[in-house]
């Protein structure tokens, strides 16, 4: 119980989430609502709350004489059946020269929400009131007496027809259950689903986890079950939107799409030439770090809200906004060293499928990757208890109004890691523009600043002793291919200068500039690769040439 000296300190302090004062001695409803609010401990301070009777709002005493009857009435709040679950409280009388006070010390409840006559009361700062839906969710989640998690609850008004059973049989079940066990599993489909907590036999309907993981159209049932991606041209949300996308569908699909999207659209790298033949890569965001944060966004968010998870990319940073805030035992002071799961079924599925870290090192790995890439540490914002935000600064900020990542390279989520060469004039014009911007940014040497034609002329000067290039014929091709591998042919020299000019250049554009076929370009490039002069980084779509 609190001491007299501690009471003096509380009397001098202002009212806050742990202190309420009153001069009333008969308002039992007011006392009970205060006890209920203190027991709920919405801010999760994990410290007792104090109802002080006999003091004004400014902390001065009103000369009350505390009676045994008042103390009995206050103690009766615990067991009169109106506050449930029953709170843990103690009542004490303190006497001062200016009068007595009665103090009710209320311990935070381990089983929240606590209700008074069926209503949940909470206290935030000096305000006490009824909890709204979002505050009720927070109280349920922080309860140490765990009830059924939301992802294991039955998704009423749905049926097994809302699940993609082919996906379950081919893409989910074999990864969650060993092949030996599956061979002897003769159970019907509903029992198999129920064993993985994807179906509720009692209600004869899928669980929330079932709808989210293998549902045919989860966002039509759980309206916030999608990720909203927006790319802004500038540094604020009022900037021009240059790209936007919605990731929806079941999580098996979303996980693959967001993985490819981050790898082939979000992460961008460009060469910074140290010398003409040596370069270093500048990467805006390390793929592994952003991927881990996005996977945590999917795994730890609440799906009880209609609000989506948000993935916003500005010209200088990425901000991820996760509905739900920190969960259970995880608090700002122990994050990220303590782990708890809002959606344990989804978390287990993501671990088995290989999308999240298995050793509770996810955030540590993120910070290491970001520091190594010179992004600086990710910034986590816990101020709003209803959301969880993380900000990652770019290691290579774009100028405001720059082309979007989706325009620079085709999304891997749509086209996969390996595409075929596009080679259209429009695509080359776009990539050429991006390359020109990059060259201006890094101050590439004068040689690379020359035009395509100048580069070809330069190659001809350097290799003036080499045979003149002729029309593309099989004879020329054979002669060049058989040439001494220690020496570049004129055509290979021209190709090398074109690549040095624009390391995103396509085979078709090289062929057009040199007046030869793409097949001949491909053979010359293979020759340059075999001689160890160049290599291809990435696929034909979105990749680039690297001069060794």
Domains of the chain, CATH where assigned = 4-145 (3.30.950.30), 151-220 (no CATH), 227-408 (3.30.565.60), 421-547 (no CATH)
pTM over 0.85: no
Closest by CA to 297, choosing from 235, 358, 218, 363, is 363
Of 357, 401, 392, give the one whose Cα is nearest residue 285: 392
- Residue 294 — very low, low, confident or very high, per pLDDT cuts 50/70/90? very high
| Most confident by average pLDDT, 173-187, 281-295, 336-350 | 281-295
CA distance 444 to 277: 12
pLDDT at 134: 87
Q: What is the pLDDT of residue 137?
A: 86
Write out pLDDT tens, residues 1-35. 888 889 888 888 877 888 999 999 999 999 999 99
For 195-217, give one letter per residue: b (16+ CB within 10 A) or e: ebbbbbeeeebbbbbbbbbbbee
Strand partners of residue 319 = 312, 391
113 prior amide bond cis, ω within 30: yes
Instruction: Indicate the pLDDT class of residue 541, thresholds 50, 70 and 90.
Output: low
DSSP β-bridge partners for residue 244: 230
Report the distance separating Cα 444 and Cα 278, nearest Å: 12
Distance between CA atoms of 399 and 343, rounded to whole angstroms?
39
357: confidence class by pLDDT, cuts 50, 70, 90: low
pLDDT of residue 414: 41
Q: Report whether pLDDT(543) > 80.
A: no
pLDDT band at 542 (very low <50, low <70, confident <90, very high): low
Residue 409 has pLDDT above 60, yes or no: no
- The stretch 85-105 carries a mean pLDDT of 93
Give the model's pLDDT for residue 360.
Answer: 57
Average pLDDT over residues 202-213: 96
Phi, psi of 517 (to 5 degrees): -85, 160
pLDDT over 90 (residue 421):
no
What sign results for the dihedral spanned by CA atoms 388, 393, 397, 400?
positive
Does position 416 have pLDDT exceeding 70, yes or no?
no
């Amino acid at each position: 119980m609190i001491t007299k000296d501690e009471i003096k300190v509380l009397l001098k302090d202002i009212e806050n989430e742990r202190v309420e004062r009153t001069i009333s001695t008969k308002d039992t409803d007011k006392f009970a609502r205060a006890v209920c609010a203190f027991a709920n401990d919405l801010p999760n301070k994990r410290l007792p709350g104090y109802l002080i009777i006999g003091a004004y709002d400014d902390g001065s005493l009103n000369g009350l004489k505390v009676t045994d009857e008042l103390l009995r009435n206050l103690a009766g709040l615990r067991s009169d059946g109106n506050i449930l679950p029953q709170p843990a409280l103690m009542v004490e009388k303190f006497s001062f020269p200016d009068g007595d006070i009665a103090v009710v010390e209320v311990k935070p409840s381990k089983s929240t929400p606590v209700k008074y006559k069926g209503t949940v009361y909470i206290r935030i700062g000096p305000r006490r009131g009824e909890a709204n839906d979002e505050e009720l969710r927070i109280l349920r989640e922080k309860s140490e007496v765990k009830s059924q998690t939301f992802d294991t609850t039955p998704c009423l008004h749905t049926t097994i027809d809302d699940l993609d059973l082919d996906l379950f049989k081919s893409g989910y079940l074999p990864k969650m259950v060993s092949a030996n066990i599956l061979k002897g599993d003769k159970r019907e489909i509903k029992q198999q689903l129920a064993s993985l907590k994807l179906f509720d036999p009692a209600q004869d309907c899928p669980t929330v986890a079932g709808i989210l993981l293998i549902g045919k159209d989860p966002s039509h049932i759980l309206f916030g079950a999608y990720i909203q991606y927006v790319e802004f041209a500038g540094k604020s949300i009022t900037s021009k939107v240059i790209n936007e996308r919605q990731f929806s569908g079941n999580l098996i699909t979303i996980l693959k799409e967001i993985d490819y999207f981050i790898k082939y659209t979000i992460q961008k790298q460009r060469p910074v030439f140290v010398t003409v033949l040596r370069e270093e890569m500048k990467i805006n965001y390390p793929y592994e770090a952003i991927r881990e944060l996005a996977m945590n966004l999917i795994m730890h968010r609440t799906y009880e809200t209609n609000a989506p998870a948000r993935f916003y990319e500005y010209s200088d940073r990425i901000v991820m906004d996760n509905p739900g805030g920190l969960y259970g035992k995880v608090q700002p002071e122990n994050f990220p060293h303590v782990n708890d799961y809002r959606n344990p079924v989804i978390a287990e599925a993501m671990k088995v499928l290989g999308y999240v870290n298995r050793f509770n090192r996810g955030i540590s790995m993120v910070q290491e990757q970001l520091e190594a890439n010179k992004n600086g540490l990710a910034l986590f914002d816990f101020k709003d208890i209803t959301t969880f935000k993380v900000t990652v600064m770019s290691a290579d900020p774009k100028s405001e109004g720059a082309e979007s990542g989706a325009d620079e390279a085709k999304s891997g989520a749509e086209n996969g890691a390996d595409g075929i060469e596009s080679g259209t004039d429009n695509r080359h014009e776009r990539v050429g523009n991006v390359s020109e911007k990059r060259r201006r940014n890094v101050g590439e040497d004068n040689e690379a600043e020359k035009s395509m034609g100048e580069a070809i002329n330069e190659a001809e000067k350097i290799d003036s002793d080499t045979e003149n290039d002729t029309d593309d014929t099989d004879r020329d091709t054979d002669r060049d291919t058989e040439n001494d591998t220690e020496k570049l042919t004129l055509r290979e020299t021209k190709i090398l200068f074109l690549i040095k000019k624009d390391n995103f250049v396509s085979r078709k554009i090289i062929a057009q500039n040199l007046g030869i076929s793409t097949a001949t370009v491909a053979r010359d490039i293979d020759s340059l690769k075999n001689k160890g002069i160049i290599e291809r980084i990435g696929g034909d779509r979105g990749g680039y040439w690297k001069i060794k």
